[in-house]
Copies of this chain bind each other. A is one copy, B any other.
């Protein structure tokens, strides 16, 4: 398959992409090579950080026999290297920077060298526990890391044309095929952390080798067939005396291995695992025409978007297991909403689009991207949220252990480094999310300035967008196709009075499945205009934590109040009316649209000085102007309170 060749020119997104190129990639390189100390702020970082160094490259050097020593870090430390490589390849595709290519080559050679003759590659097990290879799948992350290696290989190949990593991966897959499968004597289970499933589809897309697709399907289908699979592996190790860890009951719901995936109806367990799995289900369903798999992925999708999705596009209602909980349980200040989970939700949406046309997939993808995903990264490119709360009170974060995971400021790099490199690889490959193809139509899903070509019907279509939604919304969309094509332009839920014009005259269009369908005959330049009103959302009344509250949105951006603009005690404020958008420029936040509104703040009268409780008196409020900023910009100026859902008078 041909990839998109698109240059993102959007000021908003360039800012992020530049930060990744200039700050993250070099910094992470230094970290992986232990050239940079990982600064761990005990007050701010998670307690379960294994170390103050990465050792990730060193692990590969030991596995390759270049140096000696023990593995160090998480079981999935290798994936840091692979994710870096994927991001670096994405950046190289843009910059063609020789120095970056040298760095990538260094890593590629090291990976080649570290791979064993039979194709196996996982530095922890190679170095310190060869007897346990593929024998502790509930936690080993061997296939998870293999998946990230595949994604890196595909990105590297697409950026450089170099097939070396693809060959490493092919050899690794052979090794996996030799060990896993329905044949007698082979392992009948999948990795505890889904990832290889979606990566194998990417590998298939590049190589067209159907065995990769089959292997992915097999991993999806074997999952949960025997809910005791992980436990049995542990017991077997115990029987053989090769593992000193006592067998225990594995929480199979956490791994979505409690029942076969095609029987699963709800989003449960670890949120990242769930969305990665569901993305693979939809991907595989599309290519293999596996309808049961598609139906199951759609049930899970609907369960998320109708009952378990935060307005910011975040998922994962609890820190315990970083997991989904139950329908309408969406607490704003104790949730997890991991950056990686929002990214995984984008993968899931993108995979669903392959199967059917429904603008809801792109709506949700956009919601996640513009809010929960980019909230994960500070405007300095050096600090990152894993947890993206919708409400923060810094005293609670510091003094309530139940909220200690909810930070009111982005910690510096690392510890468990999953989220930052995930942001890096996603934001450097945005071109993959802009368009989709289905049933002989080309669909426009996201709106940002860019130009380039997208594959369609095995040909290339030239596209260009010039977007603005600061004042009135407008989108200039240029399409040049070798043949006639049907274009579906997503009608955002946040746009009103959409009009499509071509050289001054109205274009007739019909909205089908949320897309404005327009016929393109070779070349077409559309000028699309729309209003961008402020939307006041309310949540389903069963969402206890949002009752009586509203959340504001304008364009794709969800808004929040911060203490720095509104004083402390945000919970005492309530929104009245007169909400207006105002373009502002801030030395830290840059140019953005803020929302101003008329509100009220509850008065704490003097009688309260000496009382915790008193007989009821009608509360007194005083008028107060309220300021809202786009959610993703929060926590860039000062430490303080933040709140998305605000009481509505």
Contact = CB atoms under 8 A, between A and B. Distances in A.
Interface of A: 305-307, 309, 311, 317-321, 323, 325-326, 328-329, 334, 393, 395-396, 399-402, 535-544, 547-548, 550-551, 569, 571-572, 602, 604, 608, 610-617, 619, 647-648
Contact of A535 (B306, B320, B615, B647): B615
Given A305-B612, A648-B616, A402 B319 contact: yes
A616 B329 contact: no
Contacts of A326: 395-396, 399-400
B608 A540 contact: yes
B604 A400 contact: no
Contacts of A612: 305-307, 309, 328, 539-540, 543
Contacts of A311: 613
Contacts of A547: 571-572, 602
A318 B402 contact: yes
B611 A540 contact: yes
Contacts of A572: 541, 547
Contacts of A610: 306
Nearest to A609: B306
Nearest to A602: B541
Given A571-B547, A604-B541, A399 B615 contact: no
A315 to B, nearest CB: 12
A608 B541 contact: yes
A400 B613 contact: no
Nearest to A306: B612
Nearest to A610: B306
Nearest to A317: B400
A547 B573 CA distance: 11
A320 B613 contact: no
A396 B309 CA distance: 17
A617 B539 CA distance: 10
Given A320-B402, A321-B401, A328-B612, 8 more contacts: A326-B400, A329-B395, A334-B334, A537-B613, A543-B612, A548-B548, A548-B619, A616-B648
B615 A325 contact: no
Nearest to A575: B616
Contacts of A393: 544
A617 B541 CA distance: 12
A393 B542 CA distance: 12
Contacts of A318: 400-402
Nearest 5 CB-CB pairings of A with B: A320-B401, A536-B616, A326-B399, A538-B616, A537-B613
Contacts of A402: 318-320, 334, 402
13 contacts: A309-B612, A325-B399, A326-B400, A535-B615, A536-B615, A537-B616, A538-B617, A540-B604, A541-B572, A541-B602, A543-B612, A547-B571, A550-B616
The interface centre, meaning the residue of A307, A569, A613 with most chain B CB atoms within 10 A of its CB, is A613
A535 B309 CA distance: 40
A337 to B, nearest CB: 14
A145 B513 CA distance: 71
A509 to B, nearest CB: 23
A311 B544 CA distance: 22
Nearest to A305: B612
Nearest to A401: B320
Contacts of A615: 535-538
Contacts of A400: 317-318, 320, 325-326, 329
The interface centre, meaning the residue of A319, A400, A401, A614 with most chain B CB atoms within 10 A of its CB, is A400
A24 to B, nearest CB: 33
Contacts of A537: 613-616
Contacts of A542: 569, 604
The interface centre, meaning the residue of A309, A396, A617, A647 with most chain B CB atoms within 10 A of its CB, is A396
Contacts of A613: 311, 537-540, 551
Nearest to A545: B571
A130 B309 CA distance: 56
A610 B303 CA distance: 11
Contacts of A551: 613
B306 A611 contact: yes
A326 B401 CA distance: 11
A412 to B, nearest CB: 23
A491 to B, nearest CB: 16
A401 B320 CA distance: 6
Contacts of A535: 615
A396 B542 CA distance: 13
A537 B617 CA distance: 9
A230 B429 CA distance: 54
A238 to B, nearest CB: 22
Contacts of A536: 615-616
A157 to B, nearest CB: 40
Contacts of A619: 538, 541, 548
